[in-house]
Amino acid sequence: MKLKRLPEDFQVDELTTVQPEGGDYALYRLTKKSLGTPEAIDRLVSRLKVQRHRISYGGLKDKHAVTTQYVTIRFGPRQGGRFAPIELDYLGQVDRAFTPQFITGNRFRIVLRDLSAAALEKARHALHEVAASGFPNYFDDQRFGSLGASGEFVAQAWCRGDYERALWLALADHHPDDRREERDQKALLREHWGRWRDCKAALERSHRRSIVTYLADKPPENPDYRGAFSRLKIDLRGLYLSAFQSHLWNQLLARLLTEVVPAEQRFDVSLRTGNVPFLRTLEPHQAAVLQEAELPLPSARLHLPPGPELDRIEQVVQQHGLELRELRVKHPRDSFFSKGSRKALISVGHLEHEAAPDDLYPGRHKLALGFDLPRGSYATMLVKRITEC
């Protein structure tokens, strides 16, 4: 099976109920192709000559896709523009910046290609099961882009107060998607870790080198790893917390599914962080439990009464060498684990599918899918559900 063979094979439209009713913020629909959201915002800053802090948006959309999303610019121009691969349509004025809370969901149009007849039939059967029972609302691999070859989460060491290990994972851990320059700099750090003046002399100018310079300026016998770690960009530190918390939440969901659904109704799907259980069908009493279940995002700020839910969370956190009360950041105090909860199962809205001969792979089949998902749920998880069952 091939996904995203063409940008048009993965299309995402952001859904919102926001309507222009006047205000200081210009509202736009941003359409982009084969471009990430941050890169698209960079181009808006350049082409429209506006300051970045005046631009707001609700979420990051896939790079290898055709996507639409909503953007506001405070005191922005009251007209759109076309500058490939971006189209900007002006929709009117609103009274506040567009943020994630204004996204009601996302509409997907996806084409799966290079399917055998057997794989196509299996996927179509799985779609009927998904329509009846939904699918587990796991965070998918996109959430774990900061996880390196060691398999250790930066935030895990951070919560333990092991700032040297956290810094090593952030700066030196090998990642399979690293570009050659990044790979070479990480290898240099792994080889010379602790010899900071040597590292500084060998590294090219970069954010990584600025942190190494901070360490090189400290007495060798007393390196300030805590201070060095706090010099990592705040958005990166936020990603580290998000990745670890998302992994813990996935493990919570996996435990719940294992408790409620017997083995003969489950199958495993491989994620970057390990295998997780999926379900085929649900009996009415199982559906009553899972379709109403919401699991909290684990952190020390949770205050739950004694019971199965608290026990499940504590067991998951303890597997990582931590207690629930330790699932917090002591320094720097500008980063936090998220609060909130997440539904265990996702019901798919407006699910449609159509099979046809694959025009790119003669003798094979393609399957076009259309569906809506709530904000924060992953279309790629639905693809895994119907292709790995």
What's the pLDDT tens digit per position in 162-210?
A: 999 999 999 999 998 899 999 999 999 999 999 999 999 999 999 999 9
Place of tokens 């859904």: 15
Read off the pLDDT of residues 275-323 as tens digits, 9 standing for 90 and up.
999 999 999 999 999 999 999 999 999 999 999 999 999 999 999 999 9
Provide the pLDDT confidence category of residue 40 given band limits of 50, 70 and 90. very high
Rg over alpha carbons for the chain, rounded to the nearest Å, is 23
Please give the CATH topology (third level) of the domain spanning 19-97. Alpha-Beta Plaits (3.30.70)
- Tell me: the pLDDT tens digits for 213-232? 999 999 988 999 999 999 99
Residue 381: predicted pLDDT:
97
Q: What pairs with residue 276 in β-bridges?
A: 269
**pLDDT over threshold 90, residue 389:** no
The confidence band for 22, taking pLDDT boundaries of 50, 70 and 90, is: very high
CATH 3.30.70.3160 occupies which residues in the chain? Answer: 19-97
The 3-class SS string of 153-172 reads CHHHHHHHCCHHHHHHHHHC
Whether 324 and 298 have beta carbons less than 8 Å apart is answered as: yes
Quick check: 341 and 297 in contact, CB under 8 A? Answer: yes
**Mean of all residue pLDDT scores within the chain:** 96
Between CA 296 and CA 313 the distance in angstroms is 9
Instruction: Tell me the two tokens of residue 370.
Output: 């259309």
pLDDT in tens, 115-128: 999 999 999 999 99
pLDDT score at 165: 98
